[in-house]
Amino acid sequence: LELEEGSTKKGKKFKKMLLERCQEEFESDTATKIEKAIEGVDDEEERNLKAGLVKKHYLGHMRFIGELYKGDLLSIKIMLFCLPALLEGETSTSANLEEKKEDKDSSDEIDEEKVECFAKLMTTIGSSLERQSEAMRSVGKSDAAEKLSECWNTVEIMAGVKKKKDGPVVSNRIKFMLQDLIEMKNKGWVTRRKEETAKTIAQIHKEVAKEEARAARRSQSSNSLRRMASSGDVRALGQQQDERRNSKPQADADGFV
């Protein structure tokens, strides 16, 4: 946020309120929120929808926390307090609470939406976390590096890179996603493909202008062919068609033909 000159106190107050709100949301009991959302709802589809909305709110909040860290508004200590929660067991609902009471030996299932949120977060903040934790370790503060290492140990078990008896089991989709994340980390956080970024107005205008120019050239060429055909100049028409087939399309600096 860009604050006007002389509004430093307001900026600090806003930051404090923002962080307090984030902490309040993070520490709130998601299971209780789900229970409250589905209270009195008998339709199973509607219950699942309401529970899903609560979880989406939670995951969106976690992504927002990641953006605050990227903007240097959150410390690595807070970030490493939040991240392990995404690798923990599934948030309990009224249905599976009863099942767990009956089966005391049952372990929490992995909440794959949380794990996916972890993977997406780490693709954007993983490099900064690694760099900052190593810098802290070099001056004798190893807590951050150790907590991050614990997260990666859990991820490697989920991805099947490490074997552990009775370890967490995830679907193949999540497993491959985590394997890609590990590969990205091992290659210095270089993504396989360039991330899509929001285009500026100038870029959009430039692409529109190029598309209009291509359309104008195609229209001009078609009109020329029609005139030749109507005038009976079959030889010139055939010659131009041969030239078009044999010529290679010219691309500009941006790769547009």
Residue 203 reports pLDDT greater than 90 = no
What integer pLDDT is reported at residue 77 of this predicted model?
A: 87
Give the pLDDT confidence of 66-87 residue by residue, as tens digits: 888 888 888 898 888 888 888 8
Distance CA 80, CA 118 (A): 11
What's the average model confidence in pLDDT over 135-149?
A: 93
- Residue 188 class from Cβ within 10 Å (0-12 exposed, 13-18 middle, 19+ buried)? exposed
Q: Which residues contact 142 (CB under 8 A, 6 or more apart)?
A: 136
- The overall average pLDDT reported for the chain is 76
Higher-confidence residue of 227 and 180: namely: 180
- Whether the pLDDT of residue 89 is over 50: the answer is yes
Predicted confidence (pLDDT) at residue 4 exceeds the cutoff of 70: no
Q: What confidence score (pLDDT) does residue 44 get?
A: 87
Instruction: Kindly report which listed range (44-58, 94-108, 159-173, 211-225) carries the lowest average pLDDT score.
Output: 94-108
pLDDT of residue 151: 93
Residue 249 has pLDDT above 80, yes or no: no
